[in-house]
Amino acid sequence: MLSIADKIEGYSILTEDGDIGEVVSLLFDDRDWSVQYLVVDVGNLVEEKVLISTEIADVPIWKKETIPVKVSKQKIKDSPTINLSGPVSEERLTEIHRYYGWAPFRPGILPSSPTTVPGAAMPISSTITYEIVDESRTEEHVSKEAERHLRSINEVNGYYVEATDESVGNIENFLLDADEWVIRYAVVDVGGWLSEEKRLVANNWIEDVDWLGQKISMKISKNRLEKAPHFDKEKQIDREYEAELFEIYDQPGYWL
């Protein structure tokens, strides 16, 4: 099922022994647009949040606005934290993976299913927090993010979108396939301020992303984009709709 990504923000986490916190963002791998982590606010009254790997998350229970996870409430409470004012450090990700017993984090390598690793049961103090040395988005800052290929959907919202011939709008949201925890489409605002003109752009139609310049380049023309159907977030997106969309853009379906 495809869902607006920010719809999941605010969903509670259903652990093995009850609810805890709420989702405030999603972190995805910029190589294949797969969602790797849920960013969760557990109500500590501080800026720090916790990460939960989608490898241990089930499909959201939409009617209850919860996401079941295979871990206890206390385990999440005691988890090492992150600070969203800057990129998550490699050291902190390694620490989080070790704490939960997930496969070791290796930058530049697509993660596999979590497995128990030696020493994983050793608890790590949750009082250690990630400190940002420089919160400005410098070229070095973005370069370090690129090494880990980890991005927040909140960061990418607002990026400029360019077709093959000219600029067409801005990223407004994403469509998420929560069955597989992967982003399928970007929702592009093509009408400007206070406009309701939205279009869907599949992630495999993206030619390049300039993370420092906050710009996404597509391999489709503005004319073809304008001929595509208007996206209505209240309308269910099924395979028939997707097939029609890919035909208009003259692109092969990702499901083929």
Distance from chain centroid for Cα 71? 21
Lowest average pLDDT, out of 33-47, 66-80, 141-155, 194-208, goes to: 141-155
Q: Which CATH superfamily is domain 157-248 in?
A: PRC-barrel domain (2.30.30.240)
Indicate whether this model's pTM tops 0.75.
Answer: yes
3-state secondary structure of 75: helix
- Architecture of the domain defined by 7-130+147-152: Alpha-Beta Complex (3.90)
Residues 170-224 pLDDT 10s: 999 999 999 999 999 999 998 766 567 899 999 888 999 998 899 999 988 988 8
What confidence score (pLDDT) does residue 84 get?
73
User: Exposed (0-12), middle (13-18) or buried (19+): which is 127, by Cβ within 10 Å?
Assistant: exposed
For the chain, give the percent of residues with pLDDT over 70. 79
Residue ranges of domains in the chain:
7-130+147-152, 157-248
Q: Give 36's pLDDT tier (boundaries 50, 70, 90).
A: very high
pLDDT at residue 27, as a whole number:
92
Q: What is the pLDDT averaged over residues 55-83?
A: 93
- Return d(Cα 84, Cα 75) in angstroms, integer: 21
